[in-house]
């Protein structure tokens, strides 16, 4: 059980981050949810999650494109036994016309913020004598696709940063690993299916198998629960010697 541990999950008011927060809470961890918004429903999400699993759950607003806010998130949490770096955005454009500001923003949110949160969390983990860093990279942290230069660069960068984190903590009861999901069924992905079906004149099932999951041999989405379950495993005693590596949840994508 993760009772008594506090987990901070960045970008966790939706999708994978929320799924990971739910599975960590189910395993008994207190959780800190985060995103860049500060709406009543963000705080309500934490209240509901806390009530559902009988843990302490809080929501802390921080825009992770800003380094000071990334550091303040961990400081405000006060304790961080489990750090899940998950926040991310995507932009698709060829390199020569990729907007410079968008490149900078993607690298800031998805790579530089991981440096900032980790830098503040590691001393807290050392003080507690235990810690787990789980970085949500991607199949795009191990392979590439055209037109996703910033995303692929940030996700590869996260895999490298994870290895350095593991080496700097190797002799302590702290591990750092990256989860590399293929396509995960989130509201964002699901919403694209009907429109794409119309666009290609295909059934929704054909869109899933031939368009969205073209590179995922299982032809099935991974789920946010599966990503969350993998994070819980990485926090378990069974995973204490797993550090500095990646775990793919991609239905065989990177085996191709
Ligand atoms: P999502 O859009 O549902 O979640 C992204 C989260 O990041 C949201 O909570 C959003 O509010 C937050 N966020 C965005 N910008 C932020 C900022 N500036 N500051 C703080 N929070 C911010 O998408 P998702 O699919 O759940 O993606 C979560 C992570 O998983 C991302 O890093 C993504 O790259 C990665 N991933 C997703 C898939 C997939 O198929 N969905 C596959 C592999 C990896």
The residue extents of the domains of the chain are 6-184+222-255, 185-221
CA of 14 from ligand 1 middle (Å) equals 8
Nearest CA to ligand 1 atom 41: 184
Which of 9, 15, 135, 211 should be mutated for ligand 1, with most atoms under 8 A from CB? 15
The protein residue whose alpha carbon is closest to atom 44 in ligand 1 is 138
Q: Can you tell me which residue has the tokens 């006060």?
A: 78
Q: Has residue 239 got a pLDDT over 90? A: yes
Mean pLDDT of 38-60: 98
Res 55 pLDDT > 90: yes
3-state class of 207 per DSSP?
helix
Model confidence over 74-115: pLDDT tens digits? 999 999 999 999 999 999 999 999 999 999 999 999 999 999
Catalytic residue numbers?
151
pTM of the model: 0.97
Q: Among candidates 47, 109, 123, 46, which has minimal Cα distance to 78?
A: 123
Rounded-to-integer distance, Cα 22 and Cα 29, Å: 9
Sheet holding 6-9, edge to edge: 57-61, 30-35, 6-9, 82-85, 131-136, 174-181, 246-249
Q: How far apart are CA 176 and CA 165, in angstroms?
A: 6
221: pLDDT strictly greater than 90? yes
Complex-level ipTM: 0.99
Average confidence (pLDDT) over 5-34: 98
Report the pLDDT averaged over residues 15-22: 98
Sequence-separated (6 or more) residues with CB below 8 Å from residue 136:
16, 17, 20, 84, 85, 86, 88, 178, 179, 181, 227
- In this prediction, residue 189 carries a pLDDT of 85
pLDDT at 85: 99
**Helix-helix angle 15-26:40-53, to 10 degrees:** 30
Report pLDDT for 225.
Answer: 98
**Ligand 1 atom with the shortest distance to the CA of 108:** 18
Tell me: the pLDDT tens digits for 189-217? Answer: 888 899 889 999 999 999 999 999 999 99
- Ligand 1 pocket (Cβ < 6 Å) reads 11-17, 35-36, 63-65, 86-89, 109, 136, 138, 181, 183-184, 186, 188-189
Q: Is the pLDDT of residue 234 over 90?
A: yes
Tell me the CA–centroid distance for residue 171 and ligand 1, in Å.
Answer: 31
- Closest residue CA from atom 8 of ligand 1: 11
Lowest mean pLDDT among 1-10, 58-67, 186-195, 246-255: 186-195
Residue 237 pLDDT = 97
Note the CATH number of domain 6-184+222-255.
3.40.50.720
Taking only the tens place, the pLDDT of each residue in 179-189 is 999 999 998 78
* Distance from Cα 111 to the centre of ligand 1, integer Å: 13
Ligand 1 center–CA 54 separation, angstroms: 26
Rounded mean pLDDT of the chain? 97
């Amino acid at each position: 059980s993760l009772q008594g541990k506090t987990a901070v999950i960045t970008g966790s008011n939706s999708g994978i981050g929320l799924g990971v927060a739910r599975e960590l809470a189910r395993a008994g961890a207190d959780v800190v949810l985060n995103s860049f918004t500060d709406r009543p429903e963000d705080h309500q999400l934490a209240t509901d999650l806390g009530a559902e699993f009988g843990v302490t759950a809080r929501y802390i607003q921080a825009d992770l494109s800003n380094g000071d806010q990334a550091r303040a998130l961990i400081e405000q949490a006060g304790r961080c036994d489990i750090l899940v770096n998950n926040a991310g955005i995507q932009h698709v454009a060829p390199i020569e016309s990729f907007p410079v500001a968008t490149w900078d923003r993607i690298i800031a949110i998805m790579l530089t913020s991981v440096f900032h949160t980790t830098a503040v969390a590691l001393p807290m983990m050392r003080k507690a004598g235990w810690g787990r860093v789980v970085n949500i990279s991607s199949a795009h942290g191990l392979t590439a696709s055209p037109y996703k230069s910033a995303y692929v660069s940030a996700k590869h960068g996260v895999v490298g940063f994870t290895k350095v984190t593991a080496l700097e903590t190797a002799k302590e009861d702290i591990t750092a690993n990256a989860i590399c999901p293929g396509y995960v069924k989130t509201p964002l992905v699901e919403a694209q299916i009907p429109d794409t079906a119309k666009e290609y004149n295909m059934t929704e099932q054909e869109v899933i198998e031939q368009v969205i999951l073209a590179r995922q041999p299982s032809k099935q989405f991974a789920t946010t629960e599966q990503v969350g379950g993998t994070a819980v495993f990485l926090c378990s005693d069974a995973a204490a010697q797993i550090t500095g590596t990646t775990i793919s949840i991609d239905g065989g994508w990177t085996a191709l």
